[in-house]
A and B are shown apart, each in its own frame.
Chain A
Amino acid sequence: MPLAVIDAGLAYQRRTLADFASADLFSVRFALRDLNQADLSSQAALLIPCRTPGHRLACHKELLSSYVRRGGLLVVMGETNPDLFLEGLAFTPEPTNFWWWREPGMELGVLIDSPSHPVLADVSAQDCAWHVHGTLSVPEGGQVLLSWHPAPAVSPTGGAGALMVDYPLGEGRVIVTSLDPIYHHGSGFMPATTRFLMRFLPNVRAYAAAHRNMLTLNSRN
Chain B
Amino acid sequence: MGSFVFLQNTVSVPGGIASPPDDHTITVIDQYELTADALSDVDGLLLSQHLDEHHMAECTPLLDRYLRQGGSISLNGPLYQPYLDGLGAYAPLPSGRAQDWILRLGTQHAITDGLLADDLTYRCGVIGFWARGSFPVPLGSTVLTYMVGDDTPADFIWNRSGGGSVVVHPGNDVWFVHNDTTSAGRFYANMLDWMVEGAACH
Q: What is A's interface to B at a CB cutoff of 8 Å?
A: 7-12, 14-15, 18, 31-33, 51, 53-55, 81, 84, 98-99, 102, 186-189
Segment with Cβ contacts to A, from B45-53, B63-71, B110-118, B191-199? B45-53
A188-B132, A188-B133, A189-B132 given as contacts; is B11 within 8 A of A10 (CB)?
no
- With both chains docked as a complex, state the minimum distance between the C-beta of B33 and any C-beta of chain A, in angstroms: 13
B128 adjacent to chain A (CB < 8 Å): yes
Point out the residue from A8, A54, A99, A188 that lies within 8 Å of B78, measured CB to CB: A188
Q: How far is the CA of A97 from the CA of B201 in the complex (A)?
A: 42
A11 touches B124 (CB 8 A): no
Q: How far is the CA of A10 from the CA of B80 in the complex (A)?
A: 8
A98 touches B126 (CB 8 A): yes
Question: Which residues of chain B in 25-62 are interfacial with respect to chain A, using CB atoms and an 8 Å cutoff?
Answer: 32, 49-56
Point out the residue from B32, B53, B55, B123 that lies within 8 Å of A11, measured CB to CB: B53
A54 nearest CB neighbor, chain B only? B11
B108 adjacent to chain A (CB < 8 Å): no
Q: How far is the CA of A9 from the CA of B52 in the complex (A)?
A: 4
Residues of A within 8 A of B123 (CB): 98
- The interface centre, meaning the residue of A8, A10, A11, A98 with most chain B CB atoms within 10 A of its CB, is A11
A11 touches B126 (CB 8 A): no
A99-B125, A189-B128 given as contacts; is B9 within 8 A of A14 (CB)?
no
Question: Which residues of chain B in 91-144 are interfacial with respect to chain A, using CB atoms and an 8 Å cutoff?
Answer: 92, 96, 123-126, 128, 132-133
Residues of A within 8 A of B51 (CB): 9-10
B19 adjacent to chain A (CB < 8 Å): no
- 23 example contacts (A-B, Cβ-Cβ < 8 A) are as follows A11-B53, A11-B78, A11-B79, A14-B80, A14-B81, A15-B80, A33-B52, A33-B55, A51-B10, A53-B11, A54-B11, A98-B123, A98-B126, A99-B124, A99-B126, A102-B126, A187-B78, A188-B78, A188-B92, A188-B96, A188-B133, A189-B128, A189-B132
B32 nearest CB neighbor, chain A only? A33
Q: How far is the CA of A8 from the CA of B97 in the complex (A)?
A: 29
Q: Number of B residues contacting the other chain (C-beta, 8 Å)? A: 26
Residues of B within 8 A of A51 (CB): 10, 50
Residues of A within 8 A of B10 (CB): 51, 53
Residues of B within 8 A of A33 (CB): 32, 52, 54-55
**10 A-B pairs closest in CB distance:** A9-B52, A11-B80, A14-B80, A9-B54, A188-B92, A99-B124, A9-B53, A55-B11, A188-B132, A81-B11
Q: How far is the CA of A84 from the CA of B12 in the complex (A)?
A: 13
Q: Mark B76-96, 1 if CB is under 8 A from A, else 0.
A: 011111000000000010001
Q: How far is the CA of A86 from the CA of B118 in the complex (A)?
A: 43
A10 touches B53 (CB 8 A): yes
Residues of B within 8 A of A187 (CB): 78, 132
Residues of B within 8 A of A9 (CB): 51-56
Q: How far is the CA of A188 from the CA of B128 in the complex (A)?
A: 9
Q: Mark B1-19, 1 if CB is under 8 A from A, else 0.
A: 0000000011100000000
Q: How far is the CA of A11 from the CA of B79 in the complex (A)?
A: 5
B53 nearest CB neighbor, chain A only? A9
B132 nearest CB neighbor, chain A only? A188
Q: How far is the CA of A9 from the CA of B78 in the complex (A)?
A: 13
